[in-house]
Structure 1
Amino acid sequence: MFTKETNAYLELLSTSSTHSNLHRFKELLEILGNPQEKLKCVHLAGTNGKGSVASLISAILQEAGYKIGLYTSPDLVSVTERIRIGDILISEKDFERLLFQVREAASKFQNKSLFTYFEVLTAIAFLYYKENNCDVVVLETGLGGRHDATNIITAPLCAVLTTISYDHVQRLGSTLKEIAYEKAGIIKPSIPTISYPQEPEVLDVITSTCQMQNAPLYFCDLKELTFINNTLEGQVFNYKNYQKLSIQLLGKHQCYNAALAIEVIEVLLYLGFTIRSEAIYKGLAKANWPGRLDIIHHKPLFLIDGAHNVQGALALRDAITYYFKGKKIIYLFGSLKDKDYHQVLELTMPLGQIAILVTPPSTRAIRADLLQKQIQNYCPQVFAAATLKEGTELALSLADEESVIIAFGSLYFIGELPKILETCL
Structure 2
Amino acid sequence: MKAGENDRVGLLRRILVVLGNPDRQYKIIHIAGTNGKGSTGQIITQALMTKGYKVGHFASPAMLDDREQVQINNRWVTKRAFVKAYETICQKLPAEIISTDLTVFEWWTLIALQVFADEKVDWAVIEVGLGGENDATNAISAPQLAVITHLALDHTRILGSTLTAIAKAKAGIFKTGSQAAIIAPGQVPEALAVLKQRAGEVQLPLISATTFPAEWVAKDRVKVKFKGQTVISNFGLLGEYQLANLKTALAALTVLSISWTATEIENFLSQVNLPGRFQLINQQPIEIIDGAHNPDGAKHLITALRSQFPNRKFTFILGFLADKNVSQMVKDYQKCGTAFYLVTPDNPKRALEADALRQVLPRGIVCQDVRVALKTAEQVADEQTIIVVTGSFYLIKDILKFKRLSKCNSNL
Distance 1:61 1:388 in 2: 37
Tell me, what secondary structure is at the counterpart of 1:297? strand
1:312-336 superposed Cα distances (whole Å, 9 cap, x missing partner): 0111110121122322311111000
Q: Matched residue pairs, number?
A: 397
Paired residues for 1:170-209 under 5 Å: 170-191=157-178, 192-197=180-185, 198-209=187-198
Distance 1:20 1:404, change over 3 A: farther
Query: Following TM superposition, by how much is the alpha carbon of 1:189 offset from its aligned partner in structure 2, in angstroms?
Result: 1.3
- 1:349 equivalent among 323, 331, 334: 334
Distance in 2 between the 1:107 and 1:294 partners? 44
Return the match for 1:372 from 345, 358, 380.
358
Alignment of 1:251-266 (within 5 A): 251-266=239-254
Q: Is the 8 A contact 2:38 2:127 kept in 1?
A: yes
1:344: Cα distance to partner? 1.1
Q: Would you say the 8 A contact 1:61–1:279 is kept in 2?
A: no
Query: Where in structure 2 are the equivalents of 1:253-332 lying within 5 Å?
Result: 253-269=241-257, 273-332=258-317
Query: How many Å separate the matches in 1 of 2:287 and 2:356?
Result: 25
Equivalent in the alignment of 1:13: none
Deviations along 1:302-356, one digit per CA (max 9) or x if unpaired, are: 1110001111011111012112232231111100011111111111222111100
Aligned partners of 2:39 and 2:97: how far apart in 1?
40
Q: Give the gaps of 5 or more residues in structure 2.
A: 406-412
Structure 2 CA distance for aligned equivalents of residues 223 and 132 of structure 1: 34
Q: CA deviation at 1:151?
A: 0.9
**1:204 Cα deviation after fit:** 0.3
Is 1:406 the counterpart of 2:388? The answer is: yes
Partner of residue 37 from structure 1, selected from 24, 27, 37: 24
Q: How does 1:47-86 map to 2 (within 5 A)?
A: 47-86=34-73
User: 1:413 aligns to what SS in structure 2?
Assistant: helix
Residues 190, 216 of structure 1: 8 Å contact kept: no
Deviations 1:25-52, CA, capped at 9 Å, x for gaps: 1222233232112221011111100010
Q: What is residue 229 of structure 1 aligned with on the other side?
A: 218
SS of alignment partner, residue 231 of structure 2: strand
1:27 matches 2:6: no
> How many angstroms does 1:142 deviate by?
0.6
Question: Residue 315 and residue 193 in structure 1: after superposition, are their counterparts in 2 closer, same or farther (change >3 A)?
Answer: same
Post-superposition Cα deviations, 1:111-153, rounded to whole Å, max 9, x if no partner, equal 6752011110011111111011111101111111101111111
Q: Which moved more, 1:184-193 or 1:52-61?
A: 184-193
CA contact (8 A) 2:64 2:400 kept: no
- Whether the 8 Å contact between 1:69 and 1:86 is mirrored in structure 2 is yes
Return the TM-score normalized by structure 1. Answer: 0.88
2:235 alignment partner AA: I
Secondary structure (helix, strand or coil) at the match of 2:243 reads helix
Structure 1 residues 78-117: aligned runs within 5 Å: 78-106=65-93, 108-109=95-96, 113-117=100-104
Alpha carbons 2:42, 2:273 under 8 Å: kept: yes
Deviation at 1:280, TM superposition (A): 2.6
Inter-partner Cα distance in structure 1 for 2:269 and 2:133: 30
Q: Take 2:286 and 2:191, find their aligned partners in 1: how far apart are those partners?
A: 37
Task: State the 1:215 CA deviation.
Answer: 0.7
CA distance in 2, matches of 1:107, 1:384: 50
Query: What is the aligned partner in structure 2 of residue 359 from structure 1?
Result: 344
- Alignment pair present for 1:417 and 2:403: no
Structure 1 residue identity aligned to 2:355? D
C-alpha distance 19-419 of structure 1, shift in aligned 2 (>3 A)? farther
- TM-score, with normalisation over the residues of structure 2? 0.91
Residue 386 of structure 1: which of 360, 364, 368 is its match? 368
CA 1:89/1:136 → structure 2, altered by over 3 Å: closer, same or farther?
Answer: same
Match of 1:122 in 2: 109
Deviation of 1:243 (Å): 3.5
In structure 1, the partner of 2:409 is: none
SS of 2:146's partner is strand
Name which of 227, 230, 233 aligns with 1:242: 230
Q: Whole-Å Cα distance in 1 between the matches of residues 364 and 38 of structure 2?
A: 32
Q: Deviations over 1:38-91 (max 9, x none)?
A: 221011111100010000001011101111111111111111111111121111
Structure 1 position 100, deviation (Å):
3.2
Structure 1, unmatched stretches of 5+, are 1-16
The verdict on how the C-alpha distance between 1:237 and 1:28 changes in structure 2, with shifts beyond 3 A counting, is same
Equivalent residues of 1:53, 1:260 under 8 A apart? yes
RMSD: 2.2
Deviation of the 1:389 alpha carbon = 2.2
